[in-house]
Chain A
Amino acid sequence: GAGVSQSPRYKVAKRGQDVALRCDPISGHVSLFWYQQALGQGPEFLTYFQNEAQLDKSGLPSDRFFAERPEGSVSTLKIQRTQQEDSAVYLCASSLPNTGELFFGEGSRLTVL
């Protein structure tokens, strides 16, 4: 597709459930980023891939968060044993290397009850 596609757009999970969020980046964009955005705040960095290599995962808040991009295209962000504080919008972005110019998807809004 022409833009970054994320699914699901909305996810409601009970506390303790596992969730998986999918990101399909712009074709040809080797860099892929995951950000978390709480209400009223700017996006906070979670992790970054260049092709299939996860080059930076310093922003992942705990070992319950895991991201992968096995074939260097589609990426999945997995959150295990969800907690209420995980409720946020999870944004995926892709870019050409080292431009700083991010192209975002519409986000996946996670609500943990």
Chain B
Amino acid sequence: TQLLEQSPQFLSIQEGENLTVYCNSSSVFSSLQWYRQEPGEGPVLLVTVVTGGEVKKLKRLTFQFGDARKDSSLHITAAQPGDTGLYLCAGAYTNAGKSTFGDGTTLTVKP
């Protein structure tokens, strides 16, 4: 059973376009993380969201945590080829140790 569902699974766009990817769950998490992973590398942490309704911006990336703390979205403005990679969301529970990952969205930005 996949606790975190990410959509779309694959996304291919042209440089300069905007995009949004989603992370949905039936569970409430204490916090949610977004990571980006490039081929042959480990995931790299982008952001943590904790509060329902929270919005965080990281340059051209905007992250939102749903009011009920069950879902999240990542919006990229004016995508660049360097944004290409696998975007993973992960949910964590306080004092429970492990994080649970979705299967990710593979983003390809063509020049």
Chain A residues with CB under 8 Å of chain B are 4, 31, 33, 35, 40-45, 48, 50, 55-56, 59, 91, 93, 98-107
* Total count of chain B residues near the partner, CB < 8 A: 27
Q: Does B107 contact A (CB under 8 A)?
A: no
For A42, give its contact among B30, B40, B101 (CB under 8 Å).
B101
Q: Does B85 contact A (CB under 8 A)?
A: no
Q: What CA separation (Å) do A99 and B88 show in the bound complex?
A: 17
Name the residue among B42, B48, B98, B99 with the largest chain A CB count within 10 angstroms: B42
A40 and chain B: residue at smallest CB distance: B103
Lowest 10 A-B CB distances belong to which pairs?
A100-B92, A104-B42, A42-B101, A42-B103, A100-B31, A48-B97, A45-B98, A43-B101, A104-B43, A41-B103
Q: Does B72 contact A (CB under 8 A)?
A: no
